[in-house]
Structure formats: structure tokens, C-alpha cells
Amino acid sequence: MEPAVITVTLNPAIDKTITLPRFEVGGLNRASQIRIDPGGKGINVAKVLKKFGVDVLATGFIAGDQGNLLRNQLNERAIQTDFIHVAGETRTNFKIVDEEAGITTEINEVGFPISDQDITNLKERLRSYLSSNSVIVFAGSLPQGASDQTYYELIQFANQAGAKAILDADKAALREGIKAKPYAIKPNIFELEQLLTRKLDTDQKIVEAGKELIEQGISLIIVSMGSKGAIVLNQKEAYRITPFPITPKSTVGAGDSMVATLVYSLLENKNLEEIAKWVTTAGTITATKPGTEVCSLEEVKQAIHKINVKKLL
């Protein structure tokens, strides 16, 4: 059976979360807790979708012993995988959680290099899964050797199969990727400002920026703003969502939870206002979790009524 959703992670990682009572810069630190998880934005999306009961396939590239560990950890979570092995070693991303300050410091390794042939091989792998019923998520950083046009090529390939493509990237990968007209994108406010090279310090400016991108062929945009919530818009409507107050433990995976919940909402045929409420609730709940833990469907259902919604368009 074809999976309903495919997530593509080109540069995955083993996420190692080190929790400290207090982070002493330049001093000796003793961890109170260490957690190891399969990581990378697309993989985090797959983990959330699996918790939501959605049939999902995680693919992309892996390398070395770390790659085997990552794949095995996903399989232990009953997540279907079909990665392409490349030369090198899968990276480790470190998350250092300072409990006293409530701050997470991230240190990301570069990862393995890939070639043009590897991208061709990935397209061939995807061909057997993609259909007009598919939703495919392209998320995360590009590996060494990948051109800025990599997501552009892959989104075009998905579009030709009639799939709905969702892109969550930044910098050149986002700038070039949106030229292929993905169905949806989820930049955070900083990434959107970088893309459009201007300050977006009011809701009106954010909506105007989103409309510019929608005119280029994107159907749906989620602009995440951390503790301030999100603005979600399509060609006809825009909503400002303000989340309920929380005590954040780790923001790692909050954006990925929003992308996963967008996919779930599309599969459930939710309208834009419902999508806006669901994705913001999911991101908010994940931010209350330690390390790279993510929200569950039940938690989102129980908290969604706490969200404040304002229609902007």
C-alpha cells in the first residue's frame, strides 16, 4: 500500500540532547540527562505523523553506522523507511539544555556530501511512491555538494506526479525551492524577512509578504513566530493565532510539529481557520516538551480551545 505521506530528509542527524542543571560556559558541565533520537526536520515530521496515526514513509539519505542507527530507531517506532545509503557518516546534532535559564543551545555538524547522481537515485526511489494522492514534505538543510536548486528539482518532480509538496527550508534552499511552486511553505518570521530582505514587524506587513508569495503560485503559507504564535494564509483568507501561555522546555521540533499537523489537517480536509488553530496548538505543546519530544494528537485535541483566533482577511 502506498503511504499517504512521504517525508524527505536530505541531511538527517542523530539528535543528542544533553540536559544540564546550569550551563557553565568555559567550565566543567555534568549532564543530568542524555537523550538520543533520530533527527532532522523531515524525520521529526514523520515522528509526529506516526503519533497522529498517519501512514508515513521517511526517506532521504543516510550514511555510515550513525545512519543505520537512525534507520533502526525509526523502525523501532514503526515508521516505514526507505533511505538511500551514501558515502560518509550521518551527522550528530547536539542540543544543550540549560534548565536554570530555560535556554537550548544547538551545535549542528555538517554531515556527509552527496552528488548529482544521488539526487537522481532519490528521484527514482520517489517515483514508486508518488501519486496524485500523496503529500510529500521536503524539510531541513541541504547536504554538502547539493546545489541551491535541489529542492526546486525535487518539488518539480513531485508536482509532475500530482502530489502536494510542502517545503520547510531557509536561505537559498527556500528562495530557489519556492520557484517550483510547492503547495505550502512554513517559514518562521526571521526566514521570511531574510527571503524578502525587509523587516516584517506588523501583522499587515506579514500578510502582504505572504500574498506576494501566493501570487507566485504557493497555495498556503504558515508564518511561525515562536511564542507570539503564527499567521496562516491562503489566497482568500488570513488568520492570526495567539497561543496560550506555556513554560517552554525546548523549542526543538516545534516547527516540525506545525508542518506535520498541517499535513494531518490537509488529509482531514480541514478549512484554513481550523488548520491555523491546529498547527499553532501543536507547535505550542511541543515547545513544552524536553529535548526532541513532540506533541500527541490527544494533547492537541485537548488544548486547541485555548488558542485565540483573529481573522485578518
Query: Residue 6: which pLDDT band, with cuts at 50, 70 and 90?
Result: very high
Set of cell numbers at residue 308: 485565540
> How confident is the model over 294-309, as pLDDT tens digits?
899 999 999 999 999 9
Set of cell numbers at residue 83: 533511505
Q: Is residue 161 part of a domain?
A: yes
Q: Tell me the average pLDDT of the chain.
A: 94
Residue 294: its pLDDT value, please?
87
Q: Is residue 224 part of a domain?
A: yes
> What is the distance between the alpha carbons of residues 281 and 304, in angstroms, rounded to a whole number?
6
State how far Cα 238 lies from the chain centre. 21
Helices and strands in the chain, H and E counts: 10, 14
Total number of domains constituting the chain: 1
Strand-pair partners of 168:
139
What does the pLDDT average to over 258-279? 97
Q: Is residue 24 part of a domain?
A: no
Q: Is residue 82 part of a domain?
A: yes
Q: Is residue 304 part of a domain?
A: yes
> What is the distance between the alpha carbons of residues 294 and 303, in angstroms, rounded to a whole number?
14
- The whole-model pTM stands at 0.94
Is residue 98 part of the annotated active site? The answer reads: no
> How confident is the model over 100-128, as pLDDT tens digits?
988 889 999 999 999 999 999 999 999 99
Domain around 45 = 5-10+40-88+112-311
Q: Is residue 284 part of a domain?
A: yes
Residue 207: its pLDDT value, please?
97
Q: Are 280 and 230 in contact (CB under 8 A)?
A: yes
Residue 291: its pLDDT value, please?
66
> How confident is the model over 215-237, as pLDDT tens digits?
999 999 999 998 899 999 999 99
We report the CATH number of the domain holding residue 271 as 3.40.1190.20
Q: Is residue 196 part of a domain?
A: yes
221, 224, 230, 233: CA torsion to nearest 10 = -10
Q: Exactly one of 15, 37, 118, 256 is catalytic; which is it?
A: 256
β-pairing, 80-85 vs 135-139, is unpaired
Query: Residue 23: which pLDDT band, with cuts at 50, 70 and 90?
Result: very high
- The answer to whether residue 58 scores a pLDDT higher than 70 is yes
Q: Is residue 268 part of a domain?
A: yes
Strands, DSSP E only, in the chain? 5-9, 13-20, 33-39, 56-62, 80-85, 91-98, 103-108, 135-139, 164-168, 184-185, 220-224, 230-234, 238-242, 308-311
- The answer to whether residue 251 scores a pLDDT higher than 80 is no
